[in-house]
A and B are shown apart, each in its own frame.
Chain A
Amino acid sequence: MEKIELYKILTIEDENKEDKDYTVANILDYKDTTYLYLIEVDKEENLIETNQMIVKLVKNNGEESVEKLTDPEEIKETARLFYELFKKTVLEENES
């Protein structure tokens, strides 16, 4: 499997065994864990803005997987950090 990098497209199998494509909108390494900010994309790679989520990168029996966050504090904390990251990115975009 290719290395997970910013803006790559991940095909993720959901609980109903259906495949969905997500773009890696941002990556956060925090407390020895890698978090991803994912936004669903359609076939033309247009963002489906209504489907965004923060997940944790995990390994399930050696398979690269993501785990949905369930701890409210963890979600709040990571979302705050992601917000900072996005804000920085947008400011950089504006400057350039």
Chain B
Amino acid sequence: MNIEIYNERVAKLQLSIRNLEKNIMNPITKVDTLADFNALFKETKKIVEEYRDIFENMKTEASQEQLLKYLEKENNFLEIFWKFLNKINHYHDVIRFVPNYNIKKEWTSLYTILEYHFYAEKMKYALEKTMSPLMKNPKIYRDNSEEINYLKEKIQNLEPQVDNALWEIENLEKAETDENLRELDLMNGFIDTAKLRNETMYKKMKETIESIDFFLDTEDFKDTFEKTEETVDNNIDENFIEVTEEKISLNKEYLDKISLPAKIKYMNVMIEKIENLPGKKMIITHKGEKIKIAKKYLGWWIECQKKLKQYTEQFELEIEGKEAISLVTEIEKEEQEREKQAKEKYADLYMDYKYAQNEILRLSIEAKKYLNTKEVIAVASLNGEPIYVKKENLEHFNRNFMNYKKIQLELQKMATRNHIEVIEEQNLINDLSDVEENLYEQIHFLQNQGQSAEVLEKIESLKSKLYNLNKGKKFALYANLKVMFKTFAFTNDMSTYLSNISEDPEKLVNSKEYTLEEKRDILTNILEKIEEFSSKAHEKSKDKKEKISNFGVLKKPFEKVKKSLNLLPKNLNNVFKIKNTRDSKSKKIMAFKVAATAVAAAGMVCLTSDSVSIMNKQNTKAEVVYEESSTVETATETEDLEIINAKEDTNLNDLKELFKEEPKNDLIEENNLVYRKIEIPKSFQEQQKEVEFEINNNENHYFGEEFTTDGDIYQNQDDLANNENKLSSYFDNTSIRTVEGIVYNYNGSNITIFSYQPDAEATIKAIENNGAKQIGYVGKNEQGMNNGYEGFFADENVHFVVKEEGKNR
């Protein structure tokens, strides 16, 4: 995070420490006089101050991971500092000439405090290193417990002495009159340090240590510690280890069953046994150790070492994995907490900023009324506009203007510290989506420009900008929410509380601390406030002809709150818990089944609002009943059914009305079912025309020249048809040999489906389902010659009989 900006200072500090160690604290340096002492101290004091400034800031700003890293550096520094303290421990002898002053006593007091601080810091470092993964992995605690216990003991022993020393210093300071003493940098510096420690660090350390003690004594910790002791099962049955001069073997079956620590132990025992086998010995060096081993068994020894390494690495990985998870969670939590605090601080400052800004504007507006009088002067400009103030308000203005500027700077500083883009004005927030879009576009463009280091760097920088922008937006929105709630005279706490809820209303919805009614009240209240504020702001901006729309800023939280309010059930009696969610076996099949089923059901529900989901109260059998309005009474009379919805205000026409804009999809009502007509596929119509064209161009046809390409206009009476088509009178039903095609009236046109068409039956089914009516058929007469005579016969009950192979036209 922000620590990076201190890099240069940290580097300088490290250099100073190195110089101190190298040049001043070397064994050659002698401190015999007060001048020597001051020279040494001056350098050290500078380092101490710089160190304090840098590290104190870091402690409040760094993530845990970073803190640990820097505490390590701090710890290194303290080591050096400690050496320094030891080196000057005898200096009270040097400066004992200060008259009327018990330097020795004072020094001892300061030394005790510094010593305490030294151990406390070391303790803190050791605990930081071990605390977070402590519960997950007590092994880490065990590894560090010796050091922690040592430090704890030291601190506990020092505590009464420190209390005493602090008291001494306080009294000594009060009694202090000697000018000479005040000139001593040593005393000033160390007293300041001691005071600071007294006020902050000392108390903090004490609290930390107490909480650690408490934590270590808790049952939870003891349980975890003990349980883990038990669960680390590394017991092995040595009967499964076969290492003799005659035979060495690994029992794989047994190894598969035991835990990783046990496997490690197994391999260690194997190795030890192999090393003890007799034979001509050779010396090998392993991990810096010389090992004697019989040459004969070296192969096995290496094999076992490999296995041991493998198991050890696996085990370490397992532990690290657990630690990593724990650390990540901790870091995330800390980050969230820090962001929350920063956001609240930002919002508070922003409120003050807005107040100061409003006051300045108010004074200016008031002054403008007297613009041409001597009472008014132009004093500054704000957003490019001159600010006027009445002379009598000048003091008030100055105070606010100073405050305004100061807060503006603070806001900017805060933004820098938290890596956010400063967004001060509401109209800027409204324009943010354009800025974001632009950044996305740039990133997208660069992502297609290859993987060069330069491109990647640019992408990284844009991403970081996008992140900071969003963070800034979040902060600014929060600040705006808080300002808004403050305008309704809510207290600061209440404004914070409502702002937090507006930001994340689903948290309230999920909370178990509030009743349903309370949740509803809070969310409704927030919605009302946002609406009220927005409408006021809107009116105001209309008057002023300004583009600023507060609702633009608050729109997102408003929608979130509204959605969350709708997530709250209306009546708990009608609420049923979703116990589980799973995928269906086949999504495609389910989609097909649903498409075939639900369309009619939903259509009917919407058609007849009386037809609804009905839950059987007795046997919990739920069903959808599709009924016309007239049947409602029957359903209502059914005692064991609860009609959820019943209203007689719709009919079939409603549904027809729904599709008014789609005339091709006329609905047909038949036998209480609703059909929708579909268009005959174009390919089929084209195919039909082609066939007809073929008919009329066939040299062997008997229809005469009047049977044109429009000749498929059949009549519903066979005589008339025969007459029109110039067919002989002996062409009648009795002589029909085969049915060649079925003639339909479909959508006002007559069409013929011929038996030789490959999809004839399916087509017939489709058009029949969509309302086509059979009006007759085309038959082949037995009197015909090779191809037979053909004619139309009005009959609605004729179907294809046989489709004769090889007789297709």
Contact = CB atoms under 8 A, between A and B. Distances in A.
B584 A65 contact: no
Contact of B644 (A8, A49, A75): A75
B579 A18 contact: no
A86 B565 CA distance: 28
Nearest to B647: A72
A70 B454 CA distance: 61
Contact of A40 (B589, B599, B622): B622
A59 B564 CA distance: 9
A65 B606 contact: no
B584 to A, nearest CB: 5
Contact of B582 (A8, A20, A49, A58): A8
Contacts of A4: 578, 581
A11 B593 CA distance: 19
B605 A7 contact: no
Given A23-B594, A39-B594, A50-B624, A80 B576 contact: no
Contact of B576 (A65, A72, A87): A65
A60 B572 contact: yes
Nearest to B621: A51
Contacts of A32: 559, 562-563, 565-566
A65 B575 contact: yes
A37 B590 CA distance: 14
Contact of B578 (A47, A66, A85): A66
Contacts of B606: 76, 79-80, 82-83
Interface stretch (B66-74, B121-129, B355-363, B608-616): B608-616
Contact of B645 (A57, A72, A93): A72
Given A33-B566, A82-B602, A83-B603, A51 B578 contact: no
A57 to B, nearest CB: 7
Nearest to A49: B597
A93 to B, nearest CB: 5
B576 to A, nearest CB: 5
A47 B593 contact: yes
B635 interface: no
A58 B570 CA distance: 9
Given A39-B598, A47-B597, A86-B603, A75 B609 contact: yes
A49 to B, nearest CB: 5
A58 B569 contact: yes
Most buried by B among A49, A60, A64, A89: A60
Contact of A13 (B571, B579, B590, B601): B579
Interface in B495-515: 506, 509-512
Contacts of A9: 581-584
Contact of A79 (B589, B597, B602): B602
Nearest to B662: A87
B28 interface: no
B620 A90 contact: no
Contacts of B571: 67, 70
A51 B619 CA distance: 13
A15 B598 contact: no
B568 interface: yes
Contact of B584 (A7, A51, A57, A68): A7
What is the size category of the interface that chain A forms with chain B? 35 or more
Interface string A42-71: 000111011111101111111111111110
A52 B613 contact: yes
B595 interface: yes
Given A32-B566, A40-B622, A80-B658, A52 B582 contact: no
A82 B145 CA distance: 65
Contacts of A8: 581-584
A15 to B, nearest CB: 7
B587 interface: yes
Interface in B524-571: 559, 562-563, 565-571
Contacts of B644: 68-70, 75
Given A14-B576, A68-B574, A45 B609 contact: no
A7 B577 contact: no
A4 B583 CA distance: 10
B105 to A, nearest CB: 63
B641 interface: no
Contacts of B583: 2, 8-9
Interface in B366-406: none
A2 B580 CA distance: 8
Given A52-B613, A67-B569, A60 B575 contact: yes
A70 B647 contact: no
A90 B512 contact: no
A56 B571 CA distance: 12
B764 interface: no
B592 interface: yes
Contacts of B568: 58-59
A16 to B, nearest CB: 5
A68 B645 CA distance: 11
Nearest to B580: A11
A48 to B, nearest CB: 8
Contacts of A53: 613, 615, 622, 624
Most buried by B among A1, A11, A56, A75: A75
A52 B575 CA distance: 16
Contacts of A26: 594, 598, 602
A93 B576 contact: no
Contacts of A37: 598, 602
A73 to B, nearest CB: 8
Given A9-B583, A86-B602, A62 B595 contact: no
B585 interface: yes
A94 B509 CA distance: 42
Nearest to B513: A61
A79 B622 CA distance: 17
A80 B584 CA distance: 26
A79 B615 CA distance: 17
B590 A23 contact: yes
Given A39-B594, A70-B644, A65 B569 contact: yes
B576 A7 contact: no
Contact of B609 (A72, A82, A94): A72
B447 interface: no
A14 B620 CA distance: 7
A68 B138 CA distance: 51
A62 B609 CA distance: 32
Given A11-B582, A62-B510, A86-B603, 5 more contacts: A7-B594, A20-B622, A37-B602, A45-B584, A68-B576
Interface of B: 506, 509-512, 559, 562-563, 565-585, 587, 589-595, 597-599, 601-603, 605-606, 609, 612-613, 615, 617, 620-624, 644-647, 650, 658, 678
Interface of A: 1-4, 6-16, 18-20, 23, 25-26, 31-33, 37, 39-41, 45-47, 49-54, 56-70, 72, 75-76, 79-80, 82-87, 89-90, 93-94
Closest 5 CB pairs of A and B: A53-B613, A62-B510, A79-B606, A79-B605, A80-B606
27 contacts: A2-B582, A7-B594, A10-B580, A14-B576, A15-B573, A18-B620, A25-B598, A32-B562, A40-B622, A45-B584, A45-B590, A50-B624, A52-B598, A52-B613, A57-B567, A58-B567, A60-B569, A61-B511, A66-B575, A75-B612, A76-B645, A83-B603, A83-B606, A84-B658, A86-B595, A87-B599, A90-B599
